Amino acid sequence: MDMMPPLPDADPQDGCHPLFRNAPSSVEFNKLRKRLLRQTRQAVDDFAMLSPGGRWLVALSGGKDSYGLLAVLLDLKWRGLLPVELLACNLDQGQPNFPKHILPEFLSTLGVAHRIEYQDTYSVVTEKIPESQTYCSLCSRLRRGHLYRIAREEGCSALVLGHHREDILETFFMNLFHGGRLAAMPPKLVNDDGDVMVLRPLSYCAEADMARFADAMMFPIIPCDLCGSQDGLQRNAMKAMLDDIERRMPGRKDTMIRALTNVRPSHLMDRRIFDFTALALGTAETQAESMQLLVP
């Protein structure tokens, strides 16, 4: 990652966004807040997420990461560093005991523009998936489809998701171990229909930081286990593996994220992205030039 200019403070005359009026004033929290702002701003810049006149649909599930995403984006916008319009959106999928009042009250109290959409995807998922299996994959696909539709209806060019550093690494290792491919969650992609950009501004942010931030901000967290389908997930195994690696070798998660931005096609085995057939003696200079073109 390139170094970003220092993060300016909000205009003292403007104070802060209402979301932060009761935020802790400790040095530790301020460092955490600025770190998340800096890392998010870096991802927005590195992956060219901004476009003139942009309007972003910010997916809000009620979990720590989506609350944190919304808060960081609102903070950046308040400081004049995010020139886009934000619309928070929660998709109520009909899970049993889902507390429907929490998010509308939270967003309305803060004056945050939002849309609450009800779609009973839970019944669809439970009809198609046996109780012994996890619902998450189908649930996620159905949710994403509705969010794309809402983005179109609201004139939003981008759907913004709260996936963080660990989500990306866990996905990479799930694809490596179970899918037989080198792939992760990209910070920026276009949906299959080609009309909505998917953005992940928290790509550089650590899950532990997001958890500390949510605790300090006292967000009204809605648990992601209302359907009872969270046990035994492959993702949990990847999370445990990465946490064990980080305990044994601190800093490895940051190193792995950097590795995903530093690909060497000539040192892998995919013939579709590197022409091994054309590689011959005396071509080292040409190879080096092609590497510079492929990997800036």
- Going 12 to 16 to 21 to 25, the CA torsion angle's sign is negative
- For residues 163 and 201, membership in a common domain is answered with yes
- For residues 91 and 221, membership in a common domain is answered with yes
The whole-angstrom separation of Cα 142 and Cα 198 is 16
Q: Count CB-CB contacts under 10 A for residue 294.
A: 13
- For residues 250 and 201, membership in a common domain is answered with yes
What is the domain range of residue 152? 18-260
For residue 130, is pLDDT > 70? no
Classify residue 4: in a domain, yes or no. Answer: no
Classify residue 13: in a domain, yes or no. Answer: no
pLDDT band at 290 (very low <50, low <70, confident <90, very high): low
Q: Which residues, at least 6 apart from 179, have a Cβ–Cβ distance to it below 8 Å?
A: none
H helix runs in the chain, sequence order: 27-46, 64-78, 102-110, 121-128, 136-153, 165-174, 207-217, 234-248, 252-260, 284-294
| Interhelix angle 207-217/64-78, nearest 10 degrees | 80
- For residues 136 and 247, membership in a common domain is answered with yes
- For residues 99 and 133, membership in a common domain is answered with yes
The whole-angstrom separation of Cα 153 and Cα 49 is 21
pLDDT for 7-26, tens place per residue? 555 444 456 899 999 899 99
pLDDT for 54-105, tens place per residue? 999 999 999 999 999 999 999 999 999 999 999 999 988 777 788 889 999 9
- For residues 227 and 246, membership in a common domain is answered with yes
- For residues 283 and 215, membership in a common domain is answered with no
In this structure, are residues 95 and 225 in contact, taking their beta carbons and an 8 Å threshold? no
- CA-CA distances (angstroms) from residue 264 to 186, 274, 288? 17, 10, 11
Domains held by the chain: number? 2
Classify residue 11: in a domain, yes or no. Answer: no
- For residues 203 and 96, membership in a common domain is answered with yes
- What distance lies between CA 189 and its chain's CA centroid? 12
Classify residue 181: in a domain, yes or no. Answer: yes
For 239, the token pair is 């999370």
What's the pTM value of the predicted model, to 2 decimals?
0.86
pLDDT of res. 95: 78
pLDDT for 255-278, tens place per residue? 999 999 999 999 999 999 999 998
- For residues 130 and 235, membership in a common domain is answered with yes
The whole-angstrom separation of Cα 20 and Cα 214 is 12
pLDDT of res. 249: 97
Classify residue 253: in a domain, yes or no. Answer: yes
Averaged pLDDT for residues 205-219: 97
- For residues 277 and 149, membership in a common domain is answered with no
The whole-angstrom separation of Cα 114 and Cα 109 is 11
Q: Count CB-CB contacts under 10 A for residue 262.
A: 8
In this structure, are residues 186 and 278 in contact, taking their beta carbons and an 8 Å threshold? no
Residue 69 sits in a domain whose CATH number is 3.40.50.620
Classify residue 1: in a domain, yes or no. Answer: no
- For residues 175 and 130, membership in a common domain is answered with yes
Classify residue 46: in a domain, yes or no. Answer: yes
- For residues 207 and 285, membership in a common domain is answered with no
Classify residue 5: in a domain, yes or no. Answer: no
End-to-end CA distance of the chain: 12
Residue with tokens 């995903």: 260
Give the three-state DSSP class for 119. Answer: coil
